[in-house]
Amino acid sequence: MLVFSKAKLVLLSVPKTGTTAYQAALAPYAAMVISDPPELKHAPVFRYNRFFRPALEKFIGTPLDVVAVMREPEDWLGSWFRYRRRPFMKGQRNSTHGIGFDDFVEAYTRGDKPSFANVGSQAKFLEPQKNGTAVTHLFRYEDQEGLRAFLQDRLGIGFDTAQENASPALPLDLSDATRAKLHRKCADEFTLWNGIGPNGRYRPLPVA
């Protein structure tokens, strides 16, 4: 998570959406850099609302805009699958060594997920809160040009990003049945993704 006090902007770090590269590039311009522990670096909206927002609004003022990135759900799962296949993960309970992507996604759609497929939810991460706290600008992962232009304009700076935490290339094939189950069981993910428009505009899911 990055906080830019003068711009009154917060950049949330949704896992597996490339925000680590933005954190590396923009850290020198940020008032606050939350890089550790992972539970705070990758604080979802509900955690931001509970632990960070009250202090930031008190000392920085309002309104604070919140920007985040979302990845196409199947592609997002592919990134997790590849990430957990890195060599040093072999033998660990979260490793995807020895299983295929189809098995990984099928496991992810279960109610009781095995540890290797328990990677969270982008929709849950970005879920608006009952007090109105929500992401104000949501960009698709593929729209790097739009995200970069937004940040450059808002922060009044120019910057470049470098690839961070690259995972090995692997085949990511899904059967029609598994893909259909993913769309059925994780409909909120696809609804949110399909609701993202240009310039960070999007249709948030209803507050639970």
> Average pLDDT of 20-25?
93
pLDDT value at position 122? 98
> Average pLDDT of 156-162?
90
**Helix 101-108 / helix 176-185 crossing angle, nearest 10 deg:** 30
> Average pLDDT of 94-105?
96
Domain span at residue 129 reads: 2-200
Give the DSSP letter string of 13-55: --TTSSHHHHHHHHGGG-SEE--SSHHHHT--HHHIIIIIHHH
- In this structure, is residue 191 part of a structural domain? yes
pLDDT value at position 18? 92
Angle at 101 between CA 164 and CA 188, to 5 degrees: 80
Q: How many domains is the chain partitioned into structurally?
A: 1
Whether residue 114 has pLDDT greater than 90: yes
168 pLDDT band, cuts 50/70/90, is: low
> Average pLDDT of 127-151?
97
- In this structure, is residue 208 part of a structural domain? no
Q: What is the largest CA-CA distance in the chain?
A: 52
Q: Average model confidence (pLDDT) for the chain?
A: 95
Name beta bridge partners: 140: 70
- In this structure, is residue 205 part of a structural domain? no
**Which uninterrupted H or E stretch holds 9?**
strand 9-11
User: CA 143, 116, 34, 191 torsion: positive or negative?
Assistant: positive
- % of the chain surpassing 90 pLDDT: 91
pLDDT value at position 181? 98
> Average pLDDT of 2-27?
96
pLDDT value at position 162? 77
Q: What is the CATH number of the domain that holds 87?
A: 3.40.50
pLDDT digits (tens, 9 = 90+) for 32-76: 999 999 999 999 999 999 999 999 999 999 889 999 999 999 999
User: CA 86, 102, 104, 18 torsion: positive or negative?
Assistant: positive
The contacts of residue 80 (CB under 8 Å, 6+ apart) are 15, 16, 104, 119
- In this structure, is residue 82 part of a structural domain? yes
Whether residue 28 has pLDDT greater than 80: yes
Report whether 60 contacts 53 (CB < 8 A): no
Report whether 95 contacts 36 (CB < 8 A): no
